[in-house]
Amino acid sequence: MLHLKFIRENQALLVERLKLKNFDAFQLISKIIQLDDQRRQTQNIQDNKQAEGKRLSGKIGALINSGKQEDANKSKTDSSRLKEEIKTLNNQMQEISSTMESLLIQIPNIPHESVPPGKGEQDNFEERRYGVIPELEASAIPHWDLGKKYDILDFELGNKLTGAGFPVFKGKGAKLQRALIQFFLDEAIKAGYREIIPPLMVNEASGFGTGQLPDKEGQMYYIPSENYYLIPTSEVPITNMYRNVILEAKDLPVKNTSYTPCFRREAGSYGKDVRGLNRVHQFDKVEIVQIVHPDKSYDCLDEMVSHVEQLLRKLELPFRIMRLCGGDISFTSALTFDFEVYSAAQQKWLEVSSVSNFEDFQANRLKLRFHEESGKKNKIAHTLNGSALALPRIVAALLENNQTSQGIKIPAVLVPYTGFKMID
RNA sequence: GGAGAAAUGGCAGAGUGGUCGAAUGCGGCGGUCUUGAAAACCGUUGUCCGCCUCGGCGGACCGGGGGUUCGAAUCCCUCUUUCUCCGCCA
């Protein structure tokens, strides 16, 4: 959510910049400013009436104390009348505010100036590429077949237990999952992140705080009996830890990391893109989240990008980094880099990480602020997050790219975690 | 699951209808004293919104929501959370 003050002061600029996200904000913004004017006007009247009411109440008290009951009764009538007026005004205020809020949350974040124009993923800009795309033998097979061949990954069993999109990992497949999680967490901790294990269900307020609610209910699993949502990413609980929090400038940056399973309904997905591990309803992910000083957020974004880059290099996976264009970047993000690994048997790039700077968009909605120094006004912090990393597509690429006639080779960096060098 | 108690500023903790955004203590910040520090003393110390002649002025907030009253931290209703006791349990 953008700050009202910013919207008021940068109306034209905002409309212009949001065109990059293919969003026409003109009507919305005009309406918001009009409502805000109304709100201010109403508040002014209400404040004055309330001040008058306060004075009157004090007077009544004094009159009663000095025994002037009749004068007091007369003032009581005035006061009652005032109260009615205030109540009406207050109702108006609430209505205006809630309408304004519902409009405010419809405006997307402003894209950073380096965001390239474009309509969709085909227009994303490739920043750089690393690694060599392996030449597989003619007998190479995709990961869903490899999973069956080595009995490490079972989609049919998941289907029996739950339904489509809930894979079962077995034996060395399960161990590989655990190894990756451990490796990612260790690397994050080495990079200065604090590990958190959050709840896997969140309430409505948290869903709202990070922008899943309202409107995106359909993407989350919902527990009606408790009114809870299964988290689609640990970003939700980890970021909401700081909802309504005022930090000290000296505590920044705040760096948290968390491994959790993630649950996504992915309603409406179908076709070959969702085969195997490419898209599932439950998957594991290690997330990194930072809360930083506004002056530093783009340096932090670089730092996070390079962290993810190092992970992929250590796993010896070929990857490319994409700077998302205006049409593909998310509603909440100012600048996003996607990481894609090459899955050699499927012969396609798979998105494994998305690293974003939200600037103050998320923090504003969360009311996440910090004290610049004593005596100065509090400021909205900047937030960033990134996957480091999401497991399923990493596993898909590792299995496919490292397959040999002897079995699947485990990258050297993971061997201390798996305890084996080959899946065979 | 049953019974009872409670929720106040960064923390502790007063306040049971008006003069209370709220005593006091601790902590924080600034100062006096000191070669420096400690102690002592003095001052200051929440968030949000609006107005403005940028010095100020007004309003809201005592767990959330609603009500009673001219007036609510204080009374009533409701929700949430915490604590104690009992039961159940990994």
A375-387 pLDDT, tens digit per residue, is 567 889 999 999 9
Structure tokens at A90: 């207050």
**How far apart are the two ends of chain A, measured CA to CA in Å?**
51
Per-residue pLDDT band for A81 (boundaries 50, 70, 90) equals confident
Q: How many helices (H) and strands (E) does chain A have?
A: 13, 18
Computed over every residue of chain A, the mean pLDDT equals 90
- ipTM exceeding cut-off 0.90 for this assembly: no
A159-173 pLDDT, tens digit per residue, is 999 988 999 999 999
Residue type at A24?
D
pLDDT for the residue A270: 61
Q: Which nucleotides of B are covered by protein (CB under 7 A)?
A: 18-19, 28-29, 47-51, 58-60, 70-71
- For chain A, list the domains and their CATH numbers: 4-104 (1.10.287), 121-423 (3.30.930.10)
CA-to-C1' distance for A227 and B79, Å?
15
pLDDT for the residue A247: 86
pLDDT for the residue A168: 95
Residue A6 pLDDT > 70: yes
Q: How far is it, in rounded angstroms, from Cα A84 to Cα A89?
A: 9
Three-class SS state of A69: helix
The torsion angles phi and psi of A358, rounded to 5 degrees, stand at -95, 0
Burial of A335 (0-12, 13-18, 19+ CB in 10 A): buried
A15-44 pLDDT, tens digit per residue, is 999 999 999 999 999 999 999 999 999 999
pLDDT for the residue A268: 57
Q: What is the mean predicted confidence (pLDDT) over A309-315? A: 97
CA-to-C1' distance for A199 and B43, Å?
46
Per-residue pLDDT band for A54 (boundaries 50, 70, 90) equals confident
Q: What percent of chain A stands above pLDDT 90?
A: 59
Q: What is the mean predicted confidence (pLDDT) over A192-220? A: 87
Residues contacting strand B at CB < 7 A? A 4, 36, 40, 43-44, 46-48, 50-51, 53-54, 56-58, 60-61, 64, 76, 79-80, 83, 246, 369, 371, 374, 377-378
A378 nearest nucleotide via C1' and CA: B47
Residue A265 pLDDT > 60: yes
Per-residue pLDDT band for A276 (boundaries 50, 70, 90) equals confident
Residue A261 pLDDT > 70: yes
Structure tokens at A417: 């975690």
CA count, 13 A, side-chain hemisphere, A232: 17
A110-149 pLDDT, tens digit per residue, is 999 999 999 989 999 999 999 999 988 888 899 999 999 9
A371-415 pLDDT, tens digit per residue, is 876 556 788 999 999 998 999 999 999 999 999 989 999 999 999
A179-190 pLDDT, tens digit per residue, is 999 999 999 999
Q: What is the mean predicted confidence (pLDDT) over A242-251? A: 85
Q: How far is it, in rounded angstroms, from Cα A232 to Cα A193?
A: 21
pLDDT for the residue A386: 96
